[in-house]
A = this chain, B = another copy of it.
Amino acid sequence: MVGDPASTMINAYNPAAAHRLPTATRELIARRERLLGPAYRLFYEEPVHIVRGEGAYLYDADGQSYLDVYNNVPSVGHCHPHVVAALTRQAGLLSTHTRYLHETVLDYAERLLATFPGQQRHVMFTCTGSEANDLAFRIARAVTGGTGIIVTDLAYHGITDAVAGFSPSLGAHVPLGPHVRTVKAPDRYRATGDVGADFEAAVRAAIADLERHGIRLAAMYCDTIFSSDGVFSEPAGFLEGAVKAVHEAGGLFVADEVQPGFGRTGDAMWGYLRHGIEPDVVTMGKPMGNGQPIAGVAMLPRLIADFGRNARYFNTFGGNPVSCAAGLAVLEVIEAENLVQNAFDVGAYLRAELATLAKRHAVIGDVRGAGLFVGVEIVSDRAAKTPDGARTAAIVNGLRRKRVLISAAGPGANVLKIRPPLVFSKKEADLFLTAFAEVLEDVDRA
């Protein structure tokens, strides 16, 4: 897959199929290409034109609803009224930067930092997860004196130049830096030995290889649910050895919580907590403001002491009162609506029902995940565990035709990525399961 421009993105719309689309959609796509150019990608064989969102649903111009089983950004539900109200109130009152004193950023920082149960941390605010991972890279180099970075084979950490250079999932046209090493993600489905021990051994080998090239380790970055690698969550604790290895080499362990963070994994606010580790740096983004561009870096204070004194950091929009008000409202909704527990409950229900479906459909090779981040691996041969990317694409597009939105991930583009807003209920899980069962019947017949 990687290396072929037309397919460097899983579930990308293929312009060659434009003739099959309704005229209105074709025209909108043409207008988009004329204005935004060729670097943007759409989802699905038949792209979706959305005009409204509410809870776990998106709506098109004809008023038809789409069940959103994919979007993690509107984590407390599309257009949640509490978040919209907070945004509106603050936007009408004050929107400025952090070189004046204002209290919203501090109230938010205090509440956010209280969600980290370990050592006390500082938090710094950016606008995107990419900027957060970029800042973590700058801090890691300053603290360690090293430049080496270790990530997993198909990691995605963002799109700034530095971070794209250690985001192998962007494909062969975005080269990795000479200071970057990749390790196999901890895939229990295909593992032959101990997942944690194997992962630790791979990290130790990468460190040794960096050293052999005269490169000192700065940091290892892990998305603690391994989203783009294919969703790997079990067994809890498998990160311990890797963290130990990184620390022994003098590097920092960066938990990239942009995907698993803010309660998605169902047992805690942060994905890393399932693994019993204490990351040096935690980066966060996507669901943080329910769509408002806000992201951040929470680090142990000693790491920022020197960097902060010497290099300063200012992000014009980072930590502005409007974004912080949205962030605060999100934390309030997560608590008030008990969304972490909901992610746990509905996620467990979903995986149990999917496991039942798997008994009837041999294409389901594995069901895994934590909370409302669920991966379903589609295979052509269960015994050989052969990835079936084509069938996965057929399922994703079949569901889209039934107005159920999901996508896929993994090196074989064969892992269904089920990652709905956290307000997803059992009723909505059932809607998804019904549609999925129907699509599986179609796919089995195909």
Contact = CB atoms under 8 A, between A and B. Distances in A.
A40 B130 contact: no
A426 interface: no
Contacts of A160: 131, 134, 160-162
Interface string A167-190: 000110110000000000000000
A1 interface: no
Interface string A24-41: 010011011001111111
A16 interface: no
A58 B285 contact: no
Contacts of A42: 99-101
Contacts of A174: 311
B123 A95 contact: no
A275 interface: no
Given A36-B124, A162-B162, A9 B48 contact: no
A84 interface: yes
A341 interface: no
A342 interface: no
A156 to B, nearest CB: 10
A301 interface: yes
Contact of A159 (B96, B290, B314): B314
A128 B128 CA distance: 9
Number of identical monomers bound together in the oligomeric complex:
2
A384 interface: no
Contacts of A47: 100-101
A313 B113 CA distance: 32
A409 B32 CA distance: 40
Interface string A100-125: 11110110011001000000001110
Contacts of A29: 101
A278 B32 CA distance: 24
Given A39-B304, A51-B93, A73-B97, 6 more contacts: A35-B110, A48-B100, A51-B102, A128-B317, A160-B162, A286-B316
15 contacts: A25-B101, A37-B123, A37-B308, A40-B124, A42-B100, A58-B96, A71-B97, A78-B95, A79-B91, A79-B94, A127-B131, A160-B160, A161-B161, A162-B162, A170-B312
Interface of A: 5, 8-9, 25, 28-29, 31-32, 35-43, 47-53, 58, 71, 73-74, 78-79, 81, 83-84, 87-88, 91-103, 105-106, 109-110, 113, 122-124, 126-131, 134-135, 137-138, 159-162, 164, 170-171, 173-174, 285-286, 290-294, 299, 301, 304-305, 307-320, 322-323
